[in-house]
Structure 1
Amino acid sequence: MRRLAGLLVVPLLLLSTAACGDDKASDSASTEKGFPAITAGAKFGEKPTLEKGEGDPPKELKTDVISEGDGVKLKTGDAIQVNYLGQAWDSTKPFDNSFDRKQPFDLTLGAGMVIQGWDKGLVGQKVGSRVELVIPPDLAYGEQGQGDIKPNATLVFVVDIVKATQVPASAEGSEVAQDNIDLPKVGTKTDGKAPTVTIPKSDPPKKLVSNYILESKGEVIKDTDSVVVNYVGLLWKDSKAFDSTYQTGKTQTFPLAQVTLKGLKSGLVGKKIGSRVLLVIPPDQAFGNEAQQSIPAKSTLVFAVDLLAKM
């Protein structure tokens, strides 16, 4: 089963490698030997500039705490929000940064949403910290490279850890009656495992369905929020699952402003964090006449979504 997250949202910012212009250094600040120096914007929250790395890059992941915050330590599975700037070891030109976009980047730590060097290097760091990561190719993009990043490139990142949220194992809340026999029935167990989804043999609805299965008392989701979810997605036609976060045991973070699947975004906005929701998305709010991986053209999609946390 191929993961379809890249079809549901705009490709992850960290992986988009949008080129950024050079920044001229305005002051000098040295870091521990083996780390390119931050030459401007050294404080947490400021856009940094970096010198080129000196000599041969290290062959192992290196992490330097530029300034330590007083927040909680990050754990695998936490939903986190960061600002970052990245460049190659042998360059002074950043290939990507979130500071210019003025929008922190959301991810679930350890979920494979980013290169391994991030997942490994950020665990144990405190919220409010600024860290510098030097990431060897085998924990970055390896022999293939990525966009403007050359094959076998060692990467350097300055990362500001803005926020972290612990993610519960399951949705909770009051069970809502599922009395429409023409809609799928979703299981209500809260053991952290994928809920059962039973799709009827009748024709699918022609309009978007967004119904509570478990309704919590959490905060209402806005279209500007980023939400951490577990979900299983199935085809109405044959009840075949085409995607599931439960198979990998890793949640997914959806910045709703970047969600490209119209029915997914519309169906989640207005729902409450902590709830389980059934979505039935007709083709005109899904992928329409275009087939996508294991999803045939003109497919009605069914999702059971646990809305675990909001960033």
Structure 2
Amino acid sequence: MFASVLVLVAFILSRRVWFCAADLCNWSGSGFPVGVDSRMVLQVRLRCTEGSVRWLYPGQALRVVLEPNLFSSARRNMLCIKASPSFGAASLFIDRGGELEPLGTDGGQAQHVSCIRAEGTHVPAIYIQTSRPGGESWSPRRMGFRYELMGNRSAAPGLDHMTSCRPCNDTELLMAVCNSDFVVRGFIKDVLHNRDGHISLVEVLAVKVHRQRSGVFELQATTPGSVPAVPLWRGVILAHLQCGVKPGEGEFLFTGSEHFGDAWLGCAPRYKYFVSVYRTAKARLVNPCDFPLE
């Protein structure tokens, strides 16, 4: 592996760089037109902490430089990448100032996310190689990935340090309703287990969406005579399979983080229990934020 990386580095140094314009967060473009120097490396610069790259008719090499502003990237030292299923046989590397580190993507595996730590405020570049130097090229019609910079407290779905498999204590619960990407009140309709993807899918019918970041929960048309007879929101929350999530009756307060358009389960107490905890904390003036009770 080390020898192959050295060969690839030498190959990169022998090529020319072609800079391509993009918007702040996302880039979509095609491979090199006929007649352009095949040694060129297409380079894209992005300025956000999350976004996507879509490469149509890819050429041989693409280098994505992430340069988020210092304010938005503060305390975000984890770079996570979710490759598209069509990524296939392409090779993905993290470029740390000329030093390339292979990054496994497991293209085609649902919900697979690869993460790597950044060094300080410097975010490494992403390098994609679609052919081996001197070998046959591999050119799918489309490939791409989504990226996200996360902080230490973010529950990166590709990591095993998530604490969502254990019940939250009262302090964690109160903080969850203040800091989570989504906070919804509702019922569990069904739980499906995807053993190949090592995830559980919790289908939720929500009667109240207090907060969400990516629009995971969508408003559904109500059916006459439905219970409860109020507008319902529907969404799917993901959890690691080893957490052993099971269906449960009654009303819950679901909280968690959103990554790559997916909601990941955090604290999920029964709503009545949360109300009791919150009222006690508020009476003692120790609630970290105000939460609307109904």
Return the TM-score normalized by structure 1.
0.26
Q: Point out the structure with the larger helix share.
A: 2
Q: Answer with 1 or 2: which has the greater Rg.
A: 2
More strand by share: 2
Higher relative contact order (CA 8 A, sep 6+): 1
> How high is the TM-score relative to the length of structure 2?
0.28
